[in-house]
Structures are given as structure tokens and as C-alpha cells.
């Protein structure tokens, strides 16, 4: 009887010795995965506006009259709601460095299917401003299109597409930087509570 009890205890110790490092490894792997998902670098944020999103279905805007594609109409495809305030502020600051990036943006055109206007491909700098407002509001389709409106803010290209003028984009960056200075002092929640919007007082608005 004593030998059986001793054998049972020995086996239990061996199993426990095997399971403890295995569980610890699993918990460590989960922690690492959570950390990787929750802390994006500035380069990773920039890739959201400079590279085509993986697996995104391409749907032509305005019933096929434009080659610009509409990104998925999800309310939060980048998972902004799960970000902490410091992470959101860091992402906004990162996007504000792209004012002079004139490469084609990763997304553009209408953000809603009820928009009939067609749009030229927006540059990265305009897509970055759109991304900032997404991070601030938490809504990807916070505007009808990746385009700005206002006095002398737009033109029409040879194909009849709506084009946001570069001068309007630079004006918007000035407004966004002034707004961001206030947001950093107040915090996002208080800034939203005070109804602070990036383009207030600039004469510009999103389409």
C-alpha cells in the first residue's frame, strides 16, 4: 500500500514538473502576442496609409466609374477602440509627419456606397489626415470620402474626378497641428467632451 502511494506521488510530481514550464510558456506566448498587437510602431501606422490593406475587397466607387477602391465599410477595421490614449496620441503624432508625402495613398474614394461623386486617388498626406480623424473619433467612415471641401479647396481633373488641392491639404495640416496641441493638453476624452474638431475655424471640412 505504501509503495502504491509513493509511486502515485512520484508520478504526480513528474507530471507537475512537466506541466508548469508548459503552462508558463503558453502564458508567456500569449503575453507576447498581446504586446505585439497592442503596441504599433510609427512605421506600422504609416504602412496603414501607404500600403494596400491585406485581404480588402476592391469595390469601385460610383458604380464603376472610377478606379479608386473603397476600403471595407467597417466602423473600426484598425481596432482603434482597443488602443490606450497614449497609443492613440502617438499614432496621431506619427501621421502628422506625413505632410509632404505625395505618394498615392493606400485608400481613397468614397467611404460610403451612397456617394455618387468620383474622386482622384488621394496622396498619402491626405489619407494620413483622414486616419487621424478616424483615430480621434473611433469611426473609420467618419466622412463620406477622403477629400476636403471649402472655398478653393478642390478642382476637377480631366476625367471629372474630385481633386483636393495641395494648398487645402497644407492648410488642413496647420489646423490639425493646432488642434493636436490642445488635445495633448486636455486628453482625448476631454477634448471630445469640449467638441474640439481638427478643422474648426479653418474653413475646411471633410467631404
Q: What tens-digit pLDDT sequence spans the chain (207 residues)?
A: 444 434 343 444 343 443 333 333 333 332 333 334 458 999 999 999 996 544 443 333 333 333 334 444 568 999 999 999 999 999 999 999 999 999 999 999 899 888 999 999 999 999 999 999 999 999 999 999 999 999 999 999 999 999 999 999 999 999 999 999 999 999 999 999 999 999 999 999 999
Gap between the Cα atoms of 10 and 67, Å rounded? 70
Same domain, residue pair 84 and 25: no
7 and 63, same structural domain?
Answer: no
Do 110 and 29 sit in the same domain of this protein? no
- For residue 39, the model assigns a pLDDT of 81
Q: Are residues 115 and 182 in the same domain?
A: yes
Nearest alpha-carbon partner for 207 in 175, 164, 160? 164
| Structure confidence at residue 8 (pLDDT) | 43
What pLDDT does residue 38 have?
Answer: 57
Contact between residue 46 and residue 94 where contact means Cβ atoms under 8 Å apart: yes
The number of folded domains in the chain is 2
pLDDT on residue 1: 45
Where do we find the cell 496609409? 49
The pLDDT score that the predictor gives to residue 113 is 87
Same domain, 18 and 83: no
Q: 143 exposed, middle or buried (CB, 10 Å; 0-12, 13-18, 19+)?
A: buried
Residues 140 and 190 reside in one and the same domain:
yes
The predicted structure's pLDDT at residue 36: 41
User: In this predicted structure, what is the pLDDT of residue 162?
Assistant: 98
List the grid coordinates of 199.
478643422
Both 46 and 34 in a single domain? no
CA angle in degrees (0–180, nearest 5) for 71-48-52: 55
Contact 141, 70 (CB under 8 A): no
pLDDT of residue 26: 37
> Are 145 and 160 within one domain?
yes
What is the structure's pLDDT at 73? Answer: 57
DSSP 8-state assignment for residue 162: E
Beta bridge partners, 164, equal 154
Q: At what angle do helices 124-137 and 85-95 cross, to 10 degrees?
A: 160
Domain range spanning residue 158?
A: 40-206
Instruction: Please tell me the predicted confidence (pLDDT) of residue 12.
Output: 44
* Contact between residue 110 and residue 62 where contact means Cβ atoms under 8 Å apart: yes
Amino acid at each position: 500500500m505504501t509503495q502504491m502511494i509513493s509511486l502515485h506521488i512520484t508520478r504526480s510530481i513528474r507530471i507537475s514538473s512537466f506541466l508548469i514550464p508548459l503552462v508558463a510558456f503558453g502564458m508567456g506566448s500569449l503575453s507576447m502576442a498581446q504586446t505585439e498587437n497592442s503596441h504599433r510602431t510609427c512605421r506600422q501606422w504609416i504602412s496603414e496609409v501607404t500600403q494596400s490593406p491585406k485581404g480588402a475587397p476592391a469595390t469601385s466607387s460610383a458604380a464603376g466609374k472610377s478606379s479608386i477602391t473603397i476600403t471595407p465599410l467597417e466602423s473600426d477595421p484598425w481596432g482603434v477602440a482597443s488602443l490606450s490614449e497614449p497609443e492613440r496620441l502617438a499614432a496621431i503624432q506619427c501621421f502628422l509627419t506625413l505632410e509632404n508625402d505625395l505618394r498615392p495613398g493606400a485608400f481613397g474614394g468614397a467611404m460610403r456606397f451612397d456617394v455618387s461623386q468620383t474622386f482622384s486617388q488621394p496622396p498619402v498626406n491626405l489619407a494620413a489626415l483622414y486616419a487621424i480623424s478616424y483615430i480621434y473619433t473611433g469611426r473609420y467612415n467618419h466622412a463620406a470620402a477622403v477629400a476636403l471641401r471649402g472655398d478653393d479647396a478642390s478642382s476637377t481633373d480631366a476625367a471629372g474626378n474630385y481633386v483636393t488641392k495641395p494648398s487645402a491639404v497644407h492648410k488642413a495640416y496647420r489646423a490639425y497641428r493646432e488642434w493636436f496641441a490642445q488635445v495633448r493638453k486636455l486628453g482625448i476624452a476631454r477634448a471630445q467632451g469640449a467638441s474640439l474638431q481638427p478643422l474648426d475655424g479653418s474653413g475646411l471640412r471633410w467631404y
